[in-house]
Amino acid sequence: SGTGTTATTWSTNFTAGNPQAGTGLIFSNNASPAAPAAANRWMFSPAFSLQANSVNTITFYVRCLGAAPLPAQNFKLTVGGAASIASQTTNVYSTTTLANNAWTQITATYTPTTTGVYYFAFNHISATTQASAMSLALDTFAISSVLSNNEFQTNQLTVYPNPTTDFLNVKTNNSDTINRVQVVDLNGRQVMTKSFNNVSDAQINVNDLSAGMYL
């Protein structure tokens, strides 16, 4: 149920008990007194196509596996333009006191200033020695995206109601006209297109679309 492309010593485990959901999880082992070694491990997500000024909500579950007292861990979520450490220049979430022994959901948001392809990354850092050995486990990563209303205002467009379950209205606030409306899912797939003849107020029926987030 965890998703992503592992790097360095992050690993997947489908035999350990108690994943947050599904049958597996992703984990990173820290150093232990018996084998002291600093850990600085990165794991990169697949590529995501994000729109400028969209509000992207990222959720995931994290927990520490081991005997109490659990040593506090340095952990962060970053984002950048490539699946490389050098490109991960923006912190989305960070903590230096991660030591929870139960699955805890973390929620963070990221709003890019430009449209493009982005990669998220998880970074786990542990010291050279720890009071006890433990694993940092991740599960159930998800991302949802909503275009900011400011984006529509900047382009002199009004889109309403948001959210909607049946009809969606697109209205121009200046002399521009509408020739076509396209609806795209978060994977970039075009799920609906409707053509218009230079109208200032367009309406489309989205009742047949599955519940979810669309651009």
pLDDT of amino acid 32: 55
pLDDT tens over the chain, length 215 residues: 333 333 346 777 766 667 787 778 887 776 555 554 566 888 898 899 888 888 899 999 998 877 777 777 888 999 999 999 999 999 999 998 888 888 899 999 999 999 899 999 999 887 655 566 677 888 888 888 876 555 545 557 788 888 888 899 988 877 778 888 888 877 677 888 899 988 888 999 998 888 888 88
**pTM for the model:** 0.62
Sequential DSSP letters for 74-139: EEEEEEESSSSGGG--EEEEEEEEE--SS-EEEEEEE--SS-EEEEEEEEEEE-S--SS-EEEEEE
